[in-house]
Amino acid sequence: MGAEQFRAGFVTLIGRPNVGKSTLMNQLIGQKIAITSARPQTTRGRILTVYTDEDCQIVFLDTPGLHHSRNKLGEYMVRTARGTLSEVDAVLWLVEAGTVIGSEERAIGELLDKSGKPILLILNKIDTVDATAVTRTAERFLQEFPFIRSVTQVSALKRQRIDEVLQEIRELLPYGPPFYDEETVTEETERAIVSEIIREKALRLLSDEVPHGIAVTVERMRLRDRNGETDPFREPEPEDLMDIEASVICEKDSHKGIVIGKGGRMLKQIGIQARKDIEELLQCRVNLQLFVKVRRDWRDDATQLRSLGYSERRS
């Protein structure tokens, strides 16, 4: 393929919380970078990942779900998602396959129409509803939102028709050289991915209101070789040990005990599950130490949000 025929561009994934944006993005690039959970508002920031093959490069932007925010964190999340619309060549609008159009879909539809970008509707979770319901959803969306370019029915979870999505995007991208070298999968730092993995386990294991008020910071990552020597510039080898110290931050004193659990069992479980994924990510052994801290009502505190990386000043 000659350089003049290579296509490259940016695509954002937009939709309500919990529709499967992060799951789909991970499937599109073939690697788990963004965390996912059955809880709405799992993704809190913009996550950039890269798909590259011999004739195109697609830079994906995963975004937080659009919702009526009830605190400053929520406002930041919605601003972040909307902000991606001006940066991209096309938009994947994700909805669940059985969705009945309501005020939320109309608000998102209006926003997307105004963006002037090509909108590809993705009906996700087709494994959960029957085929006639999926077709009906497609018809209703096309009728109500005539600006939609195409409709693709997928199951992100079951990896069904993922290639069709890539094909739809490919045709819309402008000709041009790639933005990233072909090995690049994400712009996220290792430290950021590690803290997200820990947050994912907390989201999945905790219940009620507690997990929504959780943030995670990684204080220290230090690699030791078999002899206990440390060298910050070395790539990890399987026999090495990465010492990681991280804090699980909650927003109320009463939540601290819940995160720790009876006899420390909850925190231990979060640690065990996180360590497994982190070892896979880093390809070395991991010693993970978790601490629990309280930062009272941090989700509505601008200073706290900034220090946790939930602000536009993040580079």
Ligand X SMILES: Nc1nc2c(ncn2[C@@H]2O[C@H](COP(=O)(O)OP(=O)(O)OP(=O)(O)O)[C@@H](O)[C@H]2O)c(=O)[nH]1
For tokens 């539809």, what's the residue? 109
Q: Which of 136, 27, 16 is nearest to 77 (CA)?
A: 16
Beta strand 215-224 with 241-250 is antiparallel
Q: How far is the CB of 112 from Mg ion (least distance, A)?
A: 18
Out of 17, 83, 178, 309, name the contact with ligand X by CB under 6 A: 17
Give the C-alpha separation, 161 to 20, whole Å: 14
Q: How far is the CB of 135 from ligand X (least distance, A)?
A: 17
Q: Which stretch binds ligand X (CB under 6 A): 16-24, 98-106, 247-255, 265-273?
A: 16-24
- In the bound complex, which residue of the shown chain has the CB atom lying closest to ligand X? 65
Contact between 22 and Mg ion (CB under 5 A)? yes
Q: Which stretch binds Mg ion (CB under 5 A): 37-45, 47-55, 68-76, 194-202?
A: 37-45
Q: How far is the CB of 308 from ligand X (least distance, A)?
A: 17
Contact between 304 and Mg ion (CB under 5 A)? no
Buried b (16+ CB within 10 A) or exposed e, 15-51: bbebbbbbbbbbbbbeebbbbbbeeebbbbbbbbbbb
Out of 7, 46, 117, 125, name the contact with ligand X by CB under 6 A: 125
Q: How far is the CB of 240 from ligand X (least distance, A)?
A: 31
For tokens 């990681």, what's the residue? 244
Contact between 41 and ligand X (CB under 6 A)? yes
Out of 155, 186, 195, 247, name the contact with ligand X by CB under 6 A: 155
Q: How far is the CB of 187 from ligand X (least distance, A)?
A: 18
Q: Name the packing angle between helices 162-170 and 21-29 (round to 10°).
A: 80
User: 163 to each of 101, 170, 228, how far by Cα in Å?
Assistant: 27, 10, 46
Contact between 20 and ligand X (CB under 6 A)? yes
Give the C-alpha separation, 164 to 184, whole Å: 23
* Chain residues that interact with Mg ion, rule: CB under 5 A: 21-22, 42-43
